[in-house]
Structure 1
Amino acid sequence: MQKEINHEWIYEQSPTEVWEYLTQAELIALWLMPNNFKLELGHEFQFTTKPMPELELDGVFHCKVLEIETYRKLLYSWKGGSGNGIYTLNTICEWTLEQYGKGTKLKLKHSGFKEHNTEIFIGMTDGWLKLAEKMLAHINTQK
C-alpha cells in the first residue's frame, strides 16, 4: 500500500524567487536541512538531520535529482534508513511551480511511502506544512 503527501501553497513572490529556495543549497538549508544540493540532473546529494532511531533513520537522507524544468518543476528521490545500506524509506519529492497572479502556486507531491513508513508519513505530512511556513518567512525577510 502506497501513500502520498500532497500540499499546495500560494506565495506572493514570483516563481523565480520561490525556485531559488528550492534549488540553492544555502537557501534550502535555511528552511529544510543542511545539504549539498546542486541543480544538476543526476546529481546525488544528502540532507542531514539528527538521527531518529525510533523510525530507523540515521539522519542522512540520500537523494538524486531526477527531473528539472527550470522555474516550473523539480523532482528528486528521497531515501533514508538506519545507515546499514538498506533503505526503509524510498520516496520521490516533486515540486511544481505555477504563475498565480503576480505570485506563485507551489505544489508538493511526496510519494512512495509504504505501509512500514506510516509514522514517517504522518510526521512528514505535518512537517512539510511547517517547513513551507519557514520558507515563506525567509523569503519575506528578503523583501
Structure 2
Amino acid sequence: MSNPVSNPAGSPAENTRTLVVERVFPHPPEKLWRALTESPLLAQWMMGNDFEPVVGRKFQFRSAPVPNWNGVVDCEVLVVDPFQRLSYNWGTGGSESGLQWTVLWTLTATEGGTHLRMEQSGFGPDQKAAYHGANYGWQKFFGNLERLLES
C-alpha cells in the first residue's frame, strides 16, 4: 500500500510503503498495553530494551548482532495514549546514514478481546529487503506476544 508520509526533514516522502500486522487477542486492552509498555514484558516477546512510555523518551531495542546489523534499534517515543495508541520512531544504522521508520500500535476493544494493529511506515522504494525483513520480524514478534499473553 502506498501513502504519502513526511520524512524526518519534513518534506513529503513519495511512494512509501506501510507494513501492517493485525491480530485479535482474547485479552482486554489493559493486558496488551502492559505487554507493549512494560520494559521487562517487552523484552520477553520482542527485544531487550530500556523503554519507558513517556513522550520524547529516547530508548533502544537490543538484539544479537547479525551480518549487516549491529542489533541496535534507536527509538524515540512519539505518542502515548494509554490503552489505545502507542507510537515511536524506529531507526537502524545510526541517525545520519541509517534507516528510519515510524511504528504505531493501535488497540481497539472488541467483544471478548482486543484488536491489535501495528503499522510500520516509511519504507522507501529502495527498501524492499528491509520491508520483507520487517514483515518476517513482526510475524515472529506477534507469535511471541501471543505465547507470552497465554502464559
Common topology (TM > 0.5): yes
The aligned residue for residue 14 of structure 1 is 28
More helix by share: 1
- The separation in 2 between residues aligned to 1:87 and 1:106, in whole angstroms, is 32
**Partner amino acid, structure 1, of 2:77:** V
Question: What SS does the aligned partner of 1:124 have?
Answer: helix
- The separation in 1 between residues aligned to 2:33 and 2:97, in whole angstroms, is 29
User: In the alignment, is residue 80 of structure 1 matched against residue 96 of structure 2?
Assistant: no
Unaligned runs of 5+ in 2: 1-14
Q: Show the 5 A alignment for 1:1-143.
A: 1-54=15-68, 57-81=69-93, 85-141=95-151
**Partner amino acid, structure 2, of 1:111:** S
After TM superposition, the structure 1 stretch with the greater mean CA deviation from structure 2, 86-95 or 59-68, is: 86-95
Structure 1 residue 125: Cα displacement: 0.8
Please say if residues 79 and 87 of structure 1, whose CA atoms lie closer than 8 Å, have aligned partners that are also in contact: no
Query: 1:61 and 1:117, CA in 2 relative to 1: closer, same or farther beyond 3 A?
Result: same
Note the alpha carbon deviations across 1:23-76, whole angstroms, 9 max, x for none: 00000000100000001111000001122343xx32111000001110000010
- The separation in 1 between residues aligned to 2:45 and 2:97, in whole angstroms, is 25
Question: What SS does the aligned partner of 1:86 have?
Answer: coil
- The separation in 2 between residues aligned to 1:4 and 1:94, in whole angstroms, is 11
Unaligned runs of 5+ in 1: none
Query: RMSD over aligned Cα, in angstroms?
Result: 1.3
Identity of matched residues, %: 30
Structure 1 residue 88: Cα displacement: 2.5
Count of matched residue positions in the alignment of Structure 1 and Structure 2: 137
| TM-score, normalised by the number of residues in structure 1 | 0.90
Structure 1 residue 3: Cα displacement: 1.4
Please say if residues 10 and 103 of structure 1, whose CA atoms lie closer than 8 Å, have aligned partners that are also in contact: yes
Runs of 4+ in 1 over 3 A off after TM superposition: none
Structure 1 residue 118: Cα displacement: 1.7
